[in-house]
Structure 1
């Protein structure tokens, strides 16, 4: 494109419609001599004289007549492509599918509330929840995923994130478990029972594992599952213990989720850092009106479900 000056399209449109160098110069706020030089450049670029003297007026060549039918539409298309995106969006008429990558806990506890909220404003929107086997940012980069919900663990420096809620880890056991029969849970009594570990990769890489390793502690882990919801189902049917995010035990929309699943929570007898749950997306969608609206709906839902929350747009970090 180094040989093409798109500004010539504007000048050509003015010359073809005005059929006068003087009037075209006035229209574009140029001097007559500058417009004459531009006409000369156009003649070189097109290989056609474009405008010819006919008495005291200028007339178009046959090729210029053809261009006169094409240039206005072409100019509008170019201006539209290079103009700022129109922020106006008719939400009620929006028909779009958003692909969200999230853990099973988010889907189980907030999936129904999210689609209900979205459909009240935009009944033509469809949500597709995609599996989340890892934290690879490639689906976000390639457009296979529009929004990811979870902890920011990607090494991709360009992704954007907004904190949806501040979460912490708690222990869970079945209702009536003997662990809770004698008051506070000590670390010795806690580690005396077998544990369910949760790991998407199958490795001992959770914050609980890190806390154990830093204190040179050991626990019995006879089973590892890929999701918190699976761990809760195992706990409710056995004497196994698990560590899950507090948000997985219910929210303002489903306050009795833990009780309905036959489990109860307790504070952990060792320190495990709290963490942020974020909405994560690729920066190409920063200013997309539909995506901005959807991000706002997800944030509003989380604020309503978990009132103690903070949010801010920021680049991700590992």
Structure 2
């Protein structure tokens, strides 16, 4: 394709439509001599005369007659491909399925509000949530998922991110747990009880352990589970102490009675880093109007929920 000039396609389309060098030149903003030179190049490229003199007019050769409709369609498609992408988007008629990788806590937190927002503005859009088993960037790169929600943990430099909200860890225990009796959840008393930890990587330690270690304390983790919902159910029916993001308990809004009944939460006696929950996507979708609408919708829902 090194010797192919796509500008010739537009010129050929105009020459076949006008069958006049001067008029074709005028429509393309060229001089008649420039258009004549272009016709010569087209004849060399195709090996055909294309347009020949018949009195004072030009008439197409049989080969040019065959090309006319095909060339016009090619030229039109080329112009459509090579012009700026339109940002106009009719959300009400958009039909698209978005695949979002997120953990259970996020789905529980924003799922109902998100589907309600989508139903109001984009009733033909569907959302497919898939579990977040790791932070591998390859599914984003390959288009297997459209968006990821969570704490940024990938080193892929090209990915785009947007902070949705900040969360914090809180302690949980069953209602009436002795930890909450006076003097309450001091660091020493907190570390003295058995704990259940949440980790997709099956790890027994986390940020709270680093903070306890600086005080010379160590907690005993007797169980590791993959999801916060698992920890909440276990804590509700045992003396184990748990650690969950505040959003899991509906912090700042009425807690879901079905989940939080029988649980009490308390402020941790040590400081842990904030949980920064972000939307993460690949640059190839950054300017896509539909994807931008999805990101804005999720941000709005998260802002209302936090």
Matched with 1:167 is 167
- Other-structure match for 1:257: 256
Q: Which residue of 1 aligns with 2:69?
A: 69
Match of 2:276 in 1: 276
Deviation of the 1:209 alpha carbon:
3.6
- Alpha-carbon distance between aligned partners in 1 of 2:289 and 2:10, rounded to the nearest angstrom: 29
Shift of 1:109: 2.3
Query: RMSD of the alignment, in Å?
Result: 1.7
- For 1:43, the equivalent position in structure 2 comes to 43
Q: State how far apart, in whole Å, the 1-side matches of 2:4 and 2:205 are.
A: 56
What is the TM-score normalised by the length of structure 1?
Answer: 0.91
Deviation at 1:270, TM superposition (A): 1.4
Instruction: Name 1:137's counterpart in structure 2.
Output: 137
8 Å contact from structure 1 (residues 251, 305) kept in 2: no
Q: Secondary structure at the match of 2:164?
A: strand
Q: 1:189 to 1:215 in 2, by over 3 A?
A: closer
- Give the deviation of 1:183 after TM superposition: 4.0
Residues 57-90 of structure 1: per-residue CA shift (max 9 Å, x gap)? 1111111111111112111111111222222222
Q: Which residue of 2 aligns with 1:9?
A: 9
Per-residue CA distance 1:234-264 (angstroms, 9 max, x = gap): 1111111111111111056x62237733212
Which residue pairs with 1:231 in the alignment?
Answer: 231
Q: Distance in 2 between matches of 1:159 and 1:228?
A: 27
Is the aligned partner of 1:156 residue 2:132?
no
Could you give the per-residue CA deviations for residues 29-83 of structure 1, whole angstroms, max 9, x where no partner exists?
1112211111111111111111111122111111111111111211111111122
CA distance in 2, matches of 1:216, 1:282: 43
Q: In 2 relative to 1, CA 209–83 (structure 1 residues): closer, same or farther, beyond 3 Å?
A: farther
Unaligned runs of 5+ in 2: none
Secondary structure at the aligned position of 1:222 is classed as strand
Deviation at 1:210, TM superposition (A): 3.6
1:103 touches 1:132 (CA, 8 Å); kept in 2? Answer: yes
Taking the aligned partners of 1:143 and 1:282, their CA distance within structure 2 comes to 8
Structure 1 residue 298: Cα displacement: 0.5
CA contact (8 A) 1:198 1:206 kept: no
8 A Cα contact 2:249 2:260, kept in partner: no
Partner SS state of residue 44, structure 1? helix
CA contact (8 A) 2:212 2:218 kept: yes
Where 2:220 maps in the other structure, the secondary structure is coil
TM-score by length of 2: 0.94
SS of structure 2 residue aligned to 1:38: helix
Question: Could you list the runs of 5+ residues in structure 1 that have no partner in the other structure?
Answer: 307-318
After superposition, the Cα gap between the structure-2 partners of 1:261 and 1:110, relative to the gap in structure 1 and judged at 3 Å, is: farther
Q: Which residue of 2 aligns with 1:84?
A: 84
Once the two structures are superposed, what CA deviation does each residue of 1:277-297 show, in whole Å capped at 9, x if it has no partner? 011111111111111111111
